[in-house]
Structure 1
């Protein structure tokens, strides 16, 4: 035996063929696995990815909130509708008020014009009456110069009677002997000569023949107002004068024709 036989050798032992083959197989399997994984990853990368979202479940609280929101929206719509109706009504009322104001102004203007026209006509009528009265007074004044101033016969009796009553009181409806109204005095005067006249002035104004005021004679009946609707009567006594029961303040009085010009006259004698 060699003296070095008991010393271990420092050289590495040779690997067996089976061991090498096994390691080679393992390495190959690993490489194959990596290759397959890479291919699979590449294939997956080429395919589109579809993502599915899951909606939340509608709970009772959410339902209440949705209902409240819908109710609030409906109420807001109703409020808008109501406001729109109010605005429309206000606009209509304003338009109507404007139209009413314009109509009122037109009516007021028409009334004003009518009042002015009525005032103008009244003034014209007053002026016309004044002119007629002035003409009548002039006519009466002219007639006094041509009228017979001295009464004779029955006319003298009538004149004497009415002159004798001057100063008596005026009492409506009275026929003497110490108070008279206008037609009562005239009726009593003509009764002195046997002539029965109607009682009221309206009828006495048509009891005889109508005569003009510029051709009066003593004993003629003067009247004021229209024939048939006279409101006052008296007796013409000549010289442009008459006697009549005028009113409560004057009683029976003798007056000039110009004091109150009569409208017309009738002759009974």
Structure 2
């Protein structure tokens, strides 16, 4: 036996045929794997290309959505415009209603004033009726005396001519001519024709001259109704038992007999 028989050899062992086959199989497997990977990549690329072909369909949907949005915006704008027109119409209606209300109030106020004037005239007529009933006896006596007075001359004739010329004119409270009068306005203007300035109202005119008896009247005397200093009506005695005065809205300026509305007293300023 050799002295090296128990020492292991340091040479590399030979590869067996099985080992070579295994290596070759591994290489082949790698190549096949790479080929499969390439095929997969090609397939993926092909699939991606197929997906991009669907983009036009997506773009059409987006266009439809944009169109719908535009329609919605247009409808909203139309709604806003309609609301604005309704608001404008409502404002105009409110303005017209306010104007109508103001006109109605104005007419109501005018009607109220007319009613007050009518009531005042009725109260004045009632007051005169009361005075007439109280003084009827004395007035009858004065009438018979007055009818015998002489014809007016001078200033009295001018005053009488003026008041007779206004017969038929309207009665208007506060009127001083030339075509409408109240009682004291007519008397004041008549005496102004002969240079005599009388007070404006009946109360003051009833004390403007010398008090005279109703049984001693002369043409041109001022007749008054009510008490001296607080008379509510005046007229001018024109002779023959007649007087001319602005009576009331119904009769206007008229010539009446003393018996129509017997006066309370008289004053003489001529």
Are residues 191 and 127 of structure 1, via their aligned partners in 2, closer, same or farther at CA, if it must alter by over 3 Å? closer
Q: Give the RMSD, CA atoms, in angstroms.
A: 1.8
Residue 57 of structure 1 is matched in structure 2 by none
Residue 254 of structure 2 is matched in structure 1 by 253
Q: Residues of 2 paired with 1:166 and 1:227: CA distance?
A: 26
Residue 140 of structure 1 is matched in structure 2 by 142
Dislocated runs of 4+, deviation >6 Å:
126-129
Greater helix percent: which structure?
Answer: 2
C-alpha distance after superposition, 1:129-148 (max 9, x if no partner): 73x43312321222134322
Point out the structure with max Rg over C-alpha. 1
- Any idea what SS the aligned residue of 1:194 has? coil
Are residues 161 and 127 of structure 1, via their aligned partners in 2, closer, same or farther at CA, if it must alter by over 3 Å? closer
Asked if structure 1 preserves the Cα contact closer than 8 Å seen for 2:139 and 2:263, the reply is no
- Any idea what SS the aligned residue of 1:184 has? helix
C-alpha distance after superposition, 1:149-172 (max 9, x if no partner): x11000000000000000000000
Residue 75 of structure 1 is matched in structure 2 by none
Q: TM-score, normalised by structure 2?
A: 0.51
1:264 aligns with 2:256: no
Q: Residues of 2 paired with 1:249 and 1:128: CA distance?
A: 20
Instruction: Return the offset for 1:236.
Output: 0.2
Q: Residues of 2 paired with 1:128 and 1:232: CA distance?
A: 12
Are residues 186 and 127 of structure 1, via their aligned partners in 2, closer, same or farther at CA, if it must alter by over 3 Å? closer
Q: Residues of 2 paired with 1:180 and 1:161: CA distance?
A: 13
Q: Residues of 2 paired with 1:212 and 1:205: CA distance?
A: 13
Instruction: Return the offset for 1:245.
Output: 0.2
Instruction: Return the offset for 1:127.
Output: 10
Are residues 220 and 128 of structure 1, via their aligned partners in 2, closer, same or farther at CA, if it must alter by over 3 Å? closer
Q: Residues of 2 paired with 1:129 and 1:179: CA distance?
A: 26
Instruction: Return the offset for 1:128.
Output: 11
Asked if structure 2 preserves the Cα contact closer than 8 Å seen for 1:140 and 1:258, the reply is no
Q: Residues of 2 paired with 1:128 and 1:194: CA distance?
A: 32
Q: Residues of 2 paired with 1:191 and 1:127: CA distance?
A: 32
Instruction: Return the offset for 1:243.
Output: 0.2
Asked if structure 1 preserves the Cα contact closer than 8 Å seen for 2:202 and 2:234, the reply is yes
Q: Residues of 1 paired with 2:235 and 2:147: CA distance?
A: 20
Q: Residues of 1 paired with 2:156 and 2:237: CA distance?
A: 10
Please list, as runs of the form range in 1=range in 2, the aligned pairs for 1:77-88 lying within 5 A after superposition.
none
| Structure 1 unpaired stretches of 5+ | 1-125
Asked if structure 2 preserves the Cα contact closer than 8 Å seen for 1:217 and 1:238, the reply is yes
Q: Residues of 2 paired with 1:158 and 1:268: CA distance?
A: 11
1:236 aligns with 2:266: no
Are residues 231 and 144 of structure 1, via their aligned partners in 2, closer, same or farther at CA, if it must alter by over 3 Å? same
Are residues 224 and 129 of structure 1, via their aligned partners in 2, closer, same or farther at CA, if it must alter by over 3 Å? closer
Please list, as runs of the form range in 1=range in 2, the aligned pairs for 1:85-234 lying within 5 A after superposition.
130=133, 132-148=134-150, 150-234=151-235
